[in-house]
Structure 1
C-alpha cells in the first residue's frame, strides 16, 4: 500500500514538472514572437504624410521696385541780378505759376521804359510817314526805313519786357520743393539753378523683371502695389516695358499710379509689385515635402501604407507655402512631409 502511494506521488511530481516546462516554453515563445514583432516595427521609420491636391492658384508675379516722382523739374534763372526776396523753402508744396523769387528790377525797368519810348516814337513816325506817302511827300525808301525802325523798336520792346518779367521767377510745375540753392542777396545769372521741384501727384515705380516673366506682361496691365509704410493696397498699371535687357538680363518695367492724398507716397521708397496673371488649377504639394533643390526636385511617395519610394518631379511654380507640380505626381497620392531625413528609396515606414 505504501509502495503504491509512493508511486502516485512520483507520477504526480513528474506530471507537475512536465506541465511547468510546457508553460515556460509557451511563455518564452510568446516573448520571442513579441520581441520579433517589436524589432520588425521599430525598423520602420515614423513619418507624416499629406495628400496631393489640385487647387486653383493665383498665378501672380512679385517684384520689388523703387518709387520715383512723376516729374523732377529744375528751377532755372533766366535773368541776371541780385535776389531781393525768396518766397519758398525746402518741403513747401507750390502750385504752377506761384512766385518764388524776386530779383532787382531797377535796370530792367529802366530798359523797358527806354524801349517803350523808342517804340512809341517809331510807331508815331511810321504813322506820319504813311500819311506823307499817301500824299506822295516821301518816297518808298523813306517809308521802308520808317517801317524797319518800327519793327526794330517793337522787337526791342518785347526783349525789354521779357527781361523785366524774368526778374520774377515762378514755379514751372506744381509739386514739392526738394532743394534750394540760393539766399536773399545772392547774385544769379541766366542758367543758374535756383532749386528743384518734384511732382508726386502721380508716382512712377521702376522694377527689373526677369526675361522668363517679361513676356507675361503687357502695357496698361493692372498691378497691385504694397509698401512697408502703409497697411494698404494701391492700384496702378504698366506704363512701359523696355525692349532691351540690361547686363543682368532683366527688363526695366515702369509702373504708374495716382498718389493717394491720405496715404501719400514719397519718391525713393521701396514698393512690392504684384503682377496678376490668369489663374488656373494645378497639382500642389507643401513646401516641406520637397527633397533636394528646386532645380532637381524629388519627393517620397507612399505606396500602400508601409513603403516610401523616392520620385522625381517637375515644379512649375511656387508660393510661400506650396510648390506647383507639372509632372511626376497624381492627384490623391500621399507624400511624406516629415521624417524624410531618415528615409532612403524603398524605406519601410509607418504613418504617425
Structure 2
C-alpha cells in the first residue's frame, strides 16, 4: 500500500514538471515572437527610408601632372685654389669662411728675385730705347746704315718682351679669387713652402645654387629651358623654387634617363651645397579636368562607377579614370560639370535608392 502511494506521488511530480515546462517554453516563444516582430518592423522601416548623404557639385579644375624625384645640390661655381708658381708663402690675405670678391689677393708667394730681374731689365730697356732713338735720328741723316738701326730696334723690342715675361712670372706669384664667393678652410700657413700641387683652400659661389636631377626619357618633351621646379631639403621646412637652364641632349643608356640642371636663388645661404633635394616637377597642366574624392569611385570588374543624386534618388554612372593623387582621382568620362556626386554613404548605395541630402559641397 505504501509503495502504491509513492508511485502516485512520483507520477504526479512528473506530470507537474511536464506541464510547467510546457507553459514556460510557450511564454518564451510568445516573447520572442513579439520581440522579433518589433525588430523586423524596425529594420524594415529603416531599410525603406531615405539614406542620408552628402553630395559634391562636379566642376572643372586645373590639374598639374607632376612627378616626384630626387636630385643633388651643387654650388654655382667651385674650385680648389692652387698656386701657379712654387715658393715660400709671404702673405695670406683671407679669413677662413669669409666672403671674398673676384680679383681679391688671397695668397702671396716670394718674388724678390723676379722683382730684381724685372728692375734690371727695365734699366736695359731704358738704355736700348735711347740707342734706338739715336740710331733713328742718324738713319734719317744717313749717318748709319739701315741694318744698324734695325739691330738697335730689335734689341729694344726684345728687352721689352723679356720684361713682359718677368711681369707675368711675378703675377703668377699672387693667388687671386677667380670669382666672388665664400672661401673654406685653408691648408697652408705663412712661411710654408707652396707647391703647384698644394690645395690652398676651396672657393665656392653659392648664389645661385645648381640643382641636378635625372628624369625618365619619356618625359623629355615636357622639359625645356625655363621649366619651373619646386624642391625641399632636409635642413629647412621651406619650399624652394628653381628654373631649368640646361638639359643633357643624350640619354644615359644604363638608366634610360636624361640629366637636367636648374638654378635656384640662394641670397640668404639657406640652401647648402652637397645636400639632397626632393623635387616636384610639373610636366603639364590640364585646365579642364574633373577631380573627385577617391572614396567615391567604386571599382568594378570591367570599369569603375560612381553614384549621382537626381530628384533625391541615387543613379549609377560608369566612369573612366586617369591620374590619381593621395586623395583624388581624375574622371575622364562619365561625369560632367553640374552633376551631384554622392560622396558619403557609398557602401549603402544601390540604383534607385531614395536619398536625404544633408550637405551640398562645392
How many Å separate the matches in 2 of 1:245 and 1:337? 50
- Once the two structures are superposed, what CA deviation does each residue of 1:127-181 show, in whole Å capped at 9, x if it has no partner? 2222222232322222222122111111110111122232221111100113533
Select the residue among 320, 323, 326 that pairs with 2:329.
323
Query: For residue 13 of structure 1, what is the aligned residue in structure 2?
Result: none
- Once the two structures are superposed, what CA deviation does each residue of 1:289-327 show, in whole Å capped at 9, x if it has no partner? 5678xxx99656459999999978432x22232121324
How many Å separate the matches in 2 of 1:249 and 1:41? 63
Query: For residue 243 of structure 1, what is the aligned residue in structure 2?
Result: 249
RMSD (Å), alpha carbons: 4.4
Structure 1 counterpart SS, 2:119: helix
Matched, 1:178 2:184: yes
Select the residue among 62, 66, 74 that pairs with 1:57.
62
- Once the two structures are superposed, what CA deviation does each residue of 1:9-68 show, in whole Å capped at 9, x if it has no partner? xxxxxxxxxxxxxxx99988766666667899999xx99987684441341525443222
Map 1:84-103; keep pairs closer than 5 Å: 84-103=90-109
How many Å separate the matches in 2 of 1:118 and 1:190? 32
The verdict on how the C-alpha distance between 1:205 and 1:144 changes in structure 2, with shifts beyond 3 A counting, is: same
Contact 2:298–2:306 under 8 Å retained in 1? no
Matched, 1:131 2:137: yes
Structure 2 counterpart SS, 1:278: strand
Structure 2 counterpart SS, 1:100: strand
Query: For residue 116 of structure 1, what is the aligned residue in structure 2?
Result: 122
Query: For residue 215 of structure 2, what is the aligned residue in structure 1?
Result: 209
Map 1:326-345; keep pairs closer than 5 Å: 326-327=332-333, 331-334=339-342
Contact 2:67–2:280 under 8 Å retained in 1? yes
Contact 1:79–1:190 under 8 Å retained in 2? yes
Select the residue among 53, 68, 72 that pairs with 1:66.
72
TM-score with structure 1 length normalisation?
0.71
How many Å separate the matches in 2 of 1:132 and 1:259? 68
The verdict on how the C-alpha distance between 1:323 and 1:70 changes in structure 2, with shifts beyond 3 A counting, is: same
Gaps of 5+ in 1: 1-23
How many Å separate the matches in 1 of 2:159 and 2:95? 40
State which drifts further: 224-233 or 134-143.
Answer: 224-233
Query: For residue 259 of structure 2, what is the aligned residue in structure 1?
Result: 252
The verdict on how the C-alpha distance between 1:28 and 1:85 changes in structure 2, with shifts beyond 3 A counting, is: closer
How many Å separate the matches in 2 of 1:337 and 1:137? 119
Query: For residue 275 of structure 1, what is the aligned residue in structure 2?
Result: 282
How many Å separate the matches in 2 of 1:62 and 1:177? 36
How many Å separate the matches in 2 of 1:156 and 1:67? 47
Gaps of 5+ in 2: 1-27, 357-362
Contact 2:53–2:342 under 8 Å retained in 1? no
- Once the two structures are superposed, what CA deviation does each residue of 1:51-96 show, in whole Å capped at 9, x if it has no partner? 6844413415254432221112332312221112222244221111
How many residues get paired? 319
Contact 2:108–2:175 under 8 Å retained in 1? yes
Contact 1:179–1:197 under 8 Å retained in 2? no
Matched, 1:149 2:160: no
Deviation at 1:275, TM superposition (A): 3.2
Contact 2:62–2:285 under 8 Å retained in 1? no
Matched, 1:164 2:166: no
State which drifts further: 89-98 or 272-281.
Answer: 272-281
State which drifts further: 279-288 or 246-255.
Answer: 279-288
